[in-house]
Amino acid sequence: MDFKMAIKVALKNIRTNKMRTFLTMLGIIIGVSAVIILVSVAQGTTENITKRIESLGTNLLSISIRGRGTEDSISMEEIEKLKNKKGIDSVAPVVNGNVTVKYETETMDVTLEGVDQNYSNVRNHHSEYGRAINPIDVEYRQKIVLLGSEVKNELFGDANPIGEKIQINGNDFKVVGVLEEKGSSLGGNNDEKILIPISTAQRFLRTTGIRNIYIQATSADIVEDVQVEVENFLLKKFNNDEDAYRVFNQAEMLSTMGEVTNNMTMMLGGIAAISLLVGGIGIMNIMLVSVTERTREIGIRKAIGAKRKDILIQFLLESAVISGLGGLIGVLLGIGGSDLITRFFSLNTKISPFILIISYSFSIIVGMFFGIYPASKASKLKPVDALRFE
Amino acid sequence: MIKIVDVTKTYNTGKVKFQALKGVSLDIEKGEFVAIIGPSGSGKSTLMNIIGCLDLPTTGKYYFEDKEINNYRENQLADIRNKKIGFIFQKFNLLSNLNTLENVELPLIYRGMDEKQRKEKALKLLQNVGLSNHLNHTPSELSGGQQQRVAIARALAGEPQIILADEPTGNLDTKSGKEVLSILKELNRKGTTIILITHDMEVAESAKRIVTIRDGLILEERVV
């Protein structure tokens, strides 16, 4: 039997049982669209996280000091020593604390970071408008402040804060800039913080020691070398106590996160694939019913010369057409579904052509696979027995 | 053309064994018109299934065109059915979801004939049985007589040497029945071997030779 005719016959049989075929297809439709939607959400989220980490710079090392005994921080002098090491582009020391800011009647609890002029480059966090912190601000312990975007929104709304005075724990600071929106990263929310000159902060928070340092390597390739060098430096300083400090490598974090989100994608895709499998069982079920119903037809076909292979192909094609059509509808629904999710839940989704092809071919494979048993059952019917069937 | 030697057929229906044919020998020459007559349960349908290569005998030999086919595989038997034998059934056995033309095309599809050729052929055959105005009708839209004529067209599509007709008039009124029989006679006159299975003596009288079968054995053979 030629292929074209076989497809025609398959479509005809599907048309005679519209409702039943649709319900069977529904299993595949739901399966395929679920795979596409869930994987697209997972991949969209992955993309978001990766972008955020990358925006912090892949050649970034961040160091946090826990201390050993009374020695719980490093001094500005030691930071100057670090700056001269090979492969290090710049070093941004940070002192931080929690403070309450107040403007007119609005108050807010925020993180305060005392930073120097290198900070904005190293952390890749620049001023949206206004100016940045300059060396002269650090030198003269200026009482100026840069506001995170959320802090600005909370305190000032739409008004321009530049030049205004806010109170930090009761002290007046002049707003000179607003930071660009960054969203939250692993270090907490980047938009709910304020920046002041590091020298001002040391006096203000009554601490001179520095417990957070960001180091930018000259390139991403040598980050690991720099990390070793910095670790050696710290190991010496803290008398071989490895627990006294931690050095985070941004690139390392990126690959760890990549692993985590990959697992998430696989898991979501896997769960959805199970529903596709269940859809396949639905096809098998309905094809078995169909074989029984059409025993006489099979007998007639065999009597006039259909071979086992002809019957096998006919029934296989029928299940393949059901799953193929279902898969196609599922793909369209999946694309539409992830679009709706982006629109109404503002979740980033990303549909790769790869997952479309995979889920569609998987649906056809499932249909064929679960069609094999019913089709082979049909093809093995003896013509006499099939003809006698009422 | 067909030579059956001492054929038996035993059905195993659970614990009970039933011997439908108890040793039947029969020769059918090319161009003959043979009627096999017997009451229901006599084994005539079993004999027809064996002659039609729908089933194989339990013991005995079956020679089709001088070739022993007892050991043929399913595909080889399907080939014989497709190319050498045309079936006409009591219940017409048309496919209900195909139209008249497609039903007649069916044996040619399995033969692998290309679409244009087989459409032409099916159309011609339907013209011969006077149904060229009913090409797009499904079987349920046709009368019994019309359905049987479609079935005849289908049986002839493969240009078979043998037509096997199993109670072809059984579900028809007298007039349609006569029409069908006259078509068979006409075919025989042109050289096709016809084997007619019936329980009705009047129908059997159309044949040139009548074989009576009872209880799985041939009772008598007589030439009309």
Q: How many CB atoms lie within 10 A of CB B159?
A: 13
* A64 and A212 Cβ atoms separated by less than 8 Å: yes
Q: Please tell me the distance from the alpha carbon of residue B60 to that of residue B71, in angstroms, as a whole number.
A: 12
The answer to whether residue B48 is domain-embedded is no
Q: How far is A330 from chain B (nearest CA, A)?
A: 29
Can you give the pLDDT at residue A229? 87
Is B49 an interface residue toward A (CB < 8 Å)? Answer: yes
The answer to whether residue B185 is domain-embedded is yes
The answer to whether residue B109 is domain-embedded is yes
The answer to whether residue B53 is domain-embedded is no
Backbone angles phi, psi at A61, to 5 degrees: -115, 135
Record: contact B93-A306, CB cut-off 8 A: no
Q: What is the ipTM of this complex?
A: 0.93
Q: What 8-state DSSP symbol labels residue B161?
A: S
Is B14 an interface residue toward A (CB < 8 Å)? Answer: no
B contact test, residue of A14, A17, A304, A379 with most B CBs within 10 A: A304
Q: How many CB atoms lie within 10 A of CB B224?
A: 11
Record: contact A387-B54, CB cut-off 8 A: yes
Can you give the pLDDT at residue A223? 83
Domain map (residue ranges) of chain A: 3-52+257-388, 69-240
Q: How far is B122 from chain A (nearest CA, A)?
A: 15
**Whether pLDDT at B95 is above 80:** yes
**Angle subtended by helix axes B74-83 and B100-111, to nearest 10:** 130
**Whether pLDDT at A186 is above 70:** no
Record: contact B78-A307, CB cut-off 8 A: yes
Q: Which residues contact B88 (CB under 8 A, 6 or more apart)?
A: B148, B151, B152, B155, B163, B164, B165, B166, B168, B180
A247 class by beta-carbon count within 10 Å (0-12 exposed, 13-18 middle, 19+ buried): middle
Domain at B119, CATH number: 3.40.50.300
The answer to whether residue B170 is domain-embedded is yes
Can you give the pLDDT at residue A184? 65
How many Å is the Cα radius of gyration of chain A? 33
Record: contact B82-A382, CB cut-off 8 A: no
The answer to whether residue B128 is domain-embedded is yes
* B94 and B147 Cβ atoms separated by less than 8 Å: yes
**Whether pLDDT at A17 is above 80:** yes
Q: Which residues of A touch B (CB under 8 A)?
A: 1-2, 4-5, 12-13, 16, 296-297, 299-310, 382-384, 387
**pLDDT tens readout for residues B5-58:** 999 999 887 788 888 999 999 999 999 999 999 998 898 889 999 999 999 999
Q: How far is B86 from chain A (nearest CA, A)?
A: 7
Backbone angles phi, psi at B53, to 5 degrees: 60, 25
**Whether pLDDT at A264 is above 90:** no
According to DSSP, the β-strands at A60-65 and A245-249 are: antiparallel
Number of domains chain B contains: 1
Can you give the pLDDT at residue B210? 95
The answer to whether residue B93 is domain-embedded is yes
* A100 and A169 Cβ atoms separated by less than 8 Å: yes
Average pLDDT over residues B144-164: 93
Backbone angles phi, psi at A129, to 5 degrees: -150, 175
**B110 vs A12, A13, A310: nearest CB:** A310
Can you give the pLDDT at residue A2? 66
- Helix and strand numbers, DSSP H then E, in chain B: 7, 10
Average pLDDT over residues A262-269: 88
**A304 vs B55, B87, B112: nearest CB:** B87
Backbone angles phi, psi at A93, to 5 degrees: -80, 145
Contact list in A for residue B140 (CB cut-off 8 A) is none
**Angle subtended by helix axes B115-128 and B144-157, to nearest 10:** 130
**pLDDT tens readout for residues A207-223:** 888 888 999 888 877 88
**pLDDT tens readout for residues A19-54:** 989 999 999 999 999 999 999 998 888 888 888 777
Can you give the pLDDT at residue A261? 84
Three-class secondary structure of residue A104 per DSSP? coil
Longest distance between any two alpha carbons in chain B, whole Å: 52
The answer to whether residue B134 is domain-embedded is yes
Q: Where are the beta strands (DSSP E) in chain A?
A: 60-65, 88-103, 106-115, 127-130, 144-147, 165-168, 171-179, 184-185, 188-189, 193-197, 212-217, 245-249
Contact list in B for residue A297 (CB cut-off 8 A) is 95-96
Q: Please tell me the distance from the alpha carbon of residue A210 to that of residue A202, in angstroms, as a whole number.
A: 9
Is B145 an interface residue toward A (CB < 8 Å)? Answer: no
Segments forming the whole domain that contains residue B173: 31-42+78-223
Mean pLDDT of chain A: 87
Is B52 an interface residue toward A (CB < 8 Å)? Answer: yes
